[in-house]
Structure 1
Amino acid sequence: MTTVVALTALLFGAFIAPPDVVQGNAQRLMYLHVPAAWTAYLGFLIVLLASLGVLFTRFRRSSDVARAAAEVGLALTALTLATGSLWGGLTWGTWWAWDARVLSTVAMGLVYTIYLAARSLADEERGAPGVAVLGVIGFAIVPVVHFSVLWWRTLHQPPTILAPQLNPPMDATMLFTLGAAVLAFTMLALMAIALRTRGLAEGSVDVNQHSALHRGSTSERALQ
């Protein structure tokens, strides 16, 4: 299913959807840039929910889910910035602009880089609640990024899909292609988070087993 959706989005995005009247084929980057940004938001929402799980349930797997989601979200943030830079270079004539949306997106990436650094340095048990608090507070940057185009003057256009009009001002084929791309990115991101969470859980089991064996061998030598 994921493969079919991804191939459909790729086919329509590259060949079938019409080029933009003003931007031409450069607009096709939208089918990477927008889904990457939205799916990064989703990853960070999962960090928020999993961090709440750490704080209120102390379920061990929640910490792994939060870390996996932060890693995937951070990778998607980097993809958002890269595709945005390329798109800006082709349409605005500049690869970088001191723009509210750009700067807030960079800030979002820094927030979750700090989160992952804290997660790697903190003690697995005693440090987990503190890192989870950071995961909850850090989500505050996400609405700042999303609404930056409304709160400040920016080169980015206001919302299109969620515009006040009943009918989004977008060609139907473009809208279908964008929807397919968002769905494909979402499915791939959730799959990546699930696989990474499983890997982290298996790694924790191996570490715990190794520690138990080490303690057992140390106890045996002490008794000899």
Structure 2
Amino acid sequence: MSWAWFHRLASPPRFYELAGRLQPWLGGGAAVLLLAGAIWGLAFAPADYQQGDSVRILYIHVPAAMLAQSCYVLLAVAGVVSLVWKIKLADVALQSAAPIGASMTALALVSGSIWGKPTWGTWWVWDARLTSMLILLFLYAGVIALGQAISNRESAAKACAVLAIVGVVNVPIIKYSVVWWSTLHQGATFTLTAKPAMPAQMWLPLALTLPGFYLFFGFVLLLRMRLELLRREGRSQWARAALRAAGHVGERP
């Protein structure tokens, strides 16, 4: 029963309709959480006694870094589904998520550098955590480049899926690099199994921006997937009907 439901969900017209229903909820939730968390964290949360106001960048840096890693795990899962079960929607998800993950990785690196300058006295060090995050950005770039360079859609899907699966080994390296090696990068800000080391006034805004980033990711991912489905299925009856319903009568994606 569950597999039958999964295959029905993987149907392009069914997924397109469901994604359209979810988008407003994801977008609205993301807007509320990000706005509340950002205002609280940037304007009202106390400064750190050592880092001063530079600590406020964690409300952007931490969610971006976590989302960058989670997104690549999603790419790997989509790659397995695409290779093993030949579900085309998995390739759509992979291709749609890669640019978002690359953007989050770049944001994590840039925001980390901005924090590192006043804290470490330099914009960049070849630290294990920073280096493995840079490798993650290159992996995202590789997936995007493969998807655009190979004209045959089936061959491009296989190549991107293989790279996503192979590259996912970098994710645990990023996570545990501060444990396995002596690095400048600090450990986890807080975990689910331990009491936060920082006061509640500082970590509660992060507890808002973190899910806000993930809801924003879901919103943008569904938006990109719907557009990609229309592009690939533009000649199908359901896609034409969707374009007419959206007011794009006579247009081709």
- Give TM class, smaller chain: 0.7 to 0.9
- Unpaired segments of 5 or more residues in structure 2? 1-28, 238-253
Structure 1 stretches of 4+ moved >4 Å: none
Q: Which residue of 2 aligns with 1:96?
A: 124
CA distance in 2, matches of 1:30, 1:131: 32
User: Which one of 158, 183, 186 corresponds to residue 187 of structure 2?
Assistant: 158
User: Which one of 203, 208, 212 corresponds to residue 175 of structure 1?
Assistant: 203
Classify the secondary structure of the residue corresponding to 1:200: helix
User: Which one of 28, 36, 55 corresponds to residue 56 of structure 2?
Assistant: 28
Question: What aligned pairs does 1:57-206 form with structure 2 within 5 A after superposition?
Answer: 57-122=85-150, 123-162=152-191, 166-206=194-234
Percent of aligned pairs sharing the same letter: 33
Letter aligned with residue 99 of structure 1: D
CA distance in 1, matches of 2:235, 2:128: 44
CA distance in 2, matches of 1:91, 1:23: 7
CA distance in 2, matches of 1:121, 1:207: 23
CA contact (8 A) 1:51 1:63 kept: yes
Classify the secondary structure of the residue corresponding to 1:77: helix
Q: Which residue of 2 aligns with 1:212?
A: none
CA distance in 1, matches of 2:174, 2:167: 12
CA distance in 1, matches of 2:160, 2:118: 40
Letter aligned with residue 158 of structure 1: G
Structure with higher Rg: it is 1
Kindly provide the CA deviation profile for residues 155-182 of structure 1, in whole angstroms up to 9, marking residues without a partner as x.
Answer: 1112231287x31211112111111111
Q: Which residue of 2 aligns with 1:14?
A: 42
Letter aligned with residue 117 of structure 1: A
CA distance in 1, matches of 2:127, 2:48: 23
CA distance in 1, matches of 2:217, 2:44: 25
Q: Which residue of 1 aligns with 2:83?
A: 55
Aligned length: 208
C-alpha displacement at 1:3, in angstroms?
1.6
CA distance in 2, matches of 1:187, 1:208: 30
CA contact (8 A) 1:86 1:95 kept: yes
Task: Give the TM-score, by structure 1 length.
Answer: 0.87
C-alpha displacement at 1:128, in angstroms?
2.0
Task: Give the TM-score, by structure 2 length.
Answer: 0.78
C-alpha displacement at 1:31, in angstroms?
0.5
CA distance in 1, matches of 2:106, 2:160: 22
CA distance in 2, matches of 1:170, 1:96: 25
- Unpaired segments of 5 or more residues in structure 1? 210-224
CA distance in 1, matches of 2:155, 2:170: 26
Change (3 A) 1:155 1:207: farther
Q: Which residue of 2 aligns with 1:40?
A: 68
C-alpha displacement at 1:129, in angstroms?
2.2
Aligned-residue RMSD, C-alpha: 1.7
